[in-house]
Amino acid sequence: MINSLRGFRDILPPESDLFARIEAAAREVFGLYGYRELRVPTLEKKELFVKSTGDTTDIVEKEMYAFTDGGGREIANRPEGTPGVVRAYIEHNLGQTGRNAKFFYIGSMFRAERPQAGRYREFTQIGAEYIGNPSPAADAESISMLVRLLEKAGVEGCSVEINSLGCSECRRSYREILLAFLRQRSETLCEPCRARIERNPLRALDCKTDGPRLAAEAPKLALCPACAEHFSDTQRLLAAAGVGYKVNTSLVRGLDYYTRTVFEVRTTALGSQDAVAAGGRYDDLVKSMGGPAAPAIGWAMGVDRVAMLLAGKPAPDNSPRTFVVAAAKEAGDKAFELMTALRAAGISSDFSNFTLSLKSQMRSADKSGASCALIIGEEEFKTNACSVKHLKEQGEQKTVPLPDAPSYIKKLLEG
């Protein structure tokens, strides 16, 4: 018996129904905002993530599934979606199509972290990227789209926190101030932070162990006038879009490429795995990866965690509407045709095994959750008909000619 790998899981019904519902809500909302789907590979050159996400980030330094393939190539399973989208944008000149470069993706991400509830080694993200628009309206649109998506999916009780990390200029001066602060406290830092503060001081503020404490005490980043204006414009537009949010000046996010607006959506319902979605602006990334100067903003949402939030909420019933039962072989062929006709008419239908006894088939019909059983017994077989038996409520059993069955059932179910 071979089991699945630790941290990798099967998503079974009804949880898989939740995934599908979330994805359907996402596709609908993306359509309203002019986002189109980009399907990028799950494997990329390792250096793509090292260069974009950053070599001092947790997901690249500690959590990446990277390996050398048979041809000696350094490969990695994508730990996040943005680098692949940016690579595709550059590789296919997607800024030159004359249409907005607004893209969404839905797919697996891989991170070798300690598995626990809401934290897996393969998990699903839905993400959105808008490349090429520097204006605060793009920030406000991106964040409000995320909030609408969560609402559409049926998620309640989330809070949005935002902050601005400034541009590279604001960051350059802050880096020195923060570094001085961290050096003073170097012996109180965890091992990995001590090792990386010189290379990336901001990362210490996002550290899972020391981050909250340091962020509370550390000097705050001062925004240049242009960044301050961008941040206040973003907030004005968010308010205009009816999005509730809180400014959290300690929010820094763990990735290297963020500039200006960063944000996180949290819930109180998931214990320590409380981050539902997160994102931010990355004005310098496309250029630094060899593309044109193209400011951008995006986010990623954890579908596994959203599914946890929706579990236990009333879900649409996706049991078959009809269950077909037949007495032995010849009737079985008619029953099979009947199911074909029902489905062609848009009525879901299921069966068990026509060679079993009628009684046993009826037991399966009862368990299936179907509204009615369509029975082709010996009598019905002779007259080319089926009997319609209500399974969920009282109702008269009726015999209907087989050719009329789909339209009769349709009326019955709608009525």
Q: H-helix or E-strand containing 387?
A: strand 385-390
302 binds ligand ATP (CB under 6 A): yes
CB under 6 A: which stretch of 28-36, 157-165, 186-194, 301-309 binds ligand ATP? 301-309
| Of 22 and 405, CB closest to ligand ATP | 22
Nearest-approach distance from CB 62 to ligand ATP, in angstroms: 11
Q: How far is the CB of 112 from ligand ATP (least distance, A)?
A: 9
Among 254, 280, 320, 406, binds ligand ATP (CB under 6 A): 254
The answer to whether 218 and 181 have CB atoms below 8 angstroms apart is yes
Q: How far is the CB of 32 from ligand ATP (least distance, A)?
A: 22
Report the site for ligand ATP in 17-36 (rule: CB under 6 A): none
Task: Select the span of 96-104, 133-141, 274-282, 328-336 touching ligand ATP (CB under 6 A).
Answer: 274-282
Q: Given the rule CB under 6 A, which of 33-41, 188-196, 228-236, 297-305 is the region that contacts ligand ATP? A: 297-305
State which of residues 42, 135, 200, 273 lies at the interface with ligand ATP (CB under 6 A): 273
Let me know how long the chain is: 415
The token pair that represents 330 in the structure block = 């010849």
Subset of residues 104 to 163 that bind ligand ATP, contact rule: CB under 6 A: 111, 113, 118-120, 123, 125
Q: Which of 129, 141, 210, 304: binder of ligand ATP (CB under 6 A)?
A: 304
Residue whose CB is less far from ligand ATP, 53 or 368: 53
Least distance in angstroms from the C-beta of 123 to ligand ATP: 3
- 60 Cβ partners below 8 Å, 6+ apart? 49, 50, 53, 54, 79
- 66 exposed, middle or buried (CB, 10 Å; 0-12, 13-18, 19+)? middle
Residue number, nearest CB to ligand ATP: 302
Q: How far is the CB of 297 from ligand ATP (least distance, A)?
A: 14
From residue 353, how far is each of 214, 328, 343, 366, 407 by CA, in Å? 65, 9, 18, 14, 25
**Type of residue found at 328:** A
DSSP strand E in 52-143: where?
Answer: 66-68, 74-77, 101-110, 122-131
CA 395 – CA 181 distance, rounded (Å): 77
- Copy the structure tokens of residue 218: 């550390």
Q: Exactly one of 277, 294, 331, 365 binds ligand ATP (CB under 6 A); which one?
A: 277
Residue 112, CA distances (Å) to 4, 23, 65, 109, 193 in order:
15, 25, 6, 10, 19
According to the binding rule CB under 6 A, does residue 412 interact with ligand ATP? no
64 near ligand ATP (CB under 6 A): no
> How many residues form the binding site for ligand ATP (CB under 6 A)?
18
Backbone angles phi, psi at 20, to 5 degrees: -65, -40
Give 82 or 352: the residue with its C-beta nearer to ligand ATP. 82
Regarding 305 and contact with ligand ATP (CB under 6 A), the answer is: yes
The least CB distance from residue 208 to ligand ATP, in Å, is: 7
Q: Chain-centre distance of CA 246, in angstroms?
A: 23
Are 198 and 179 in contact by the 8 Å Cβ rule? The answer is: yes
DSSP string, 263-310: EEEEESTTTT--EEEEEEE-TTHHHHTTS----EEEEEEEHHHHHHHH
Among the listed residues 80, 129, 283, 380, the single contact to ligand ATP using CB under 6 A = 80
Distance in Å, CB of 259 to ligand ATP, minimum: 16
At 209 the three-state DSSP class reads coil
Q: Give the residue carrying structure tokens 């943005």.
A: 82
| Residue nearer to ligand ATP on the CB measure, 35 or 351 | 35
Among residues 155 and 388, whose Cβ is nearest to ligand ATP?
155
Which residue, 125 or 349, has its beta carbon nearer to ligand ATP? 125
Cα atoms found within 13 Å of the Cα of residue 354, Cβ hemisphere only:
22
Shortest distance, position 128 Cβ to ligand ATP, whole Å: 12
Binding site for ligand ATP (CB under 6 A): 80, 111, 113, 118-120, 123, 125, 254, 273, 275-278, 300, 302, 304-305
